[in-house]
Amino acid sequence: MNVTSKITTLAALSVLAACSSITGPGAPPAPPPPSALNATDSSFVQKASEMNLMEIALGSAAATNASASGVKSFAATLVTDHTAQQNRLSAIATGHGVTLATDPSADDKKTVTTISALKGSAFDQAFLSQVVTDHKAALPVMTAEHTASTDIDLKSYAEDNSANIQKHLSAAEALTGSGHSGKSHRHTRRR
């Protein structure tokens, strides 16, 4: 190579080097992968999601099948609250690389279908009974997660939802016991 070619090559390399320092070091590093949940937290996330999806499906069925206005109103609250809980849980799960189901389980779908086949006060009674059963089962799940989890977001989620679940349970029990389920109460007098 002659001297002129060497000088031209060095000049071109100098310009390239100067350009690379102006534009910066290239693309930013990729964010770290989400931290995996331990087995207990992973199981809780899936179970909590199933519970939310079931209550959303039941509440949605009550919008058309319930006869008592109190039951319909309560069902709308269930749908709103459990949808918000599911959205919050989904955000937490996504942050840990976990994908949640978007529909109730096959068994839960069967239960909703069976209850949905009922109309009027029969629906109201079956709906409220299922909600009471579900929420009684959910309370210890939330309490255990709040106590045992090492994930601060899941601990907070479980604590907050324990209060909501207790509120829903109390409301369902009150509707069941007060006759607002559409069940007629006849009082007969003794002679």
Each of the 191 residues of the chain gets a pLDDT tens digit; together they read 566 666 666 666 666 666 555 555 566 776 666 688 899 999 999 999 999 999 999 999 999 999 999 999 999 999 999 999 999 999 999 999 999 999 999 999 999 999 999 989 999 999 999 999 999 999 999 999 999 998 999 999 999 999 999 999 999 999 998 544 444 333 333 43
pLDDT computed for residue 180 by the predictor: 44
What would you measure as the largest C-alpha separation in the chain, in angstroms? 128
CATH of the domain at 63: 1.20.1260.10
**Whole-angstrom distance, CA of residue 22 vs CA of residue 63:** 62
pLDDT computed for residue 145 by the predictor: 95
* DSSP secondary structure of 83-147: HHHHHHHHHHHHHTT-PPPSS--HHHHHHHHHHHT--HHHHHHHHHHHHHHHHHHHHHHHHHHHH
98, part of any domain: yes
71, part of any domain: yes
Q: Report the domain count for the chain.
A: 1
9, part of any domain: no
* Whether the Cβ atoms of residue 101 and residue 68 lie closer than 8 Å to each other: no
12, part of any domain: no
* Whether the Cβ atoms of residue 47 and residue 157 lie closer than 8 Å to each other: no
34, part of any domain: no
**Whole-angstrom distance, CA of residue 165 vs CA of residue 135:** 6
119, part of any domain: yes
The domain in which residue 77 lies consists of: 39-178
Six-digit token pair at 105? 């389980």
17, part of any domain: no
171, part of any domain: yes
pLDDT computed for residue 36 by the predictor: 85
31 Cβ partners below 8 Å, 6+ apart? Answer: none
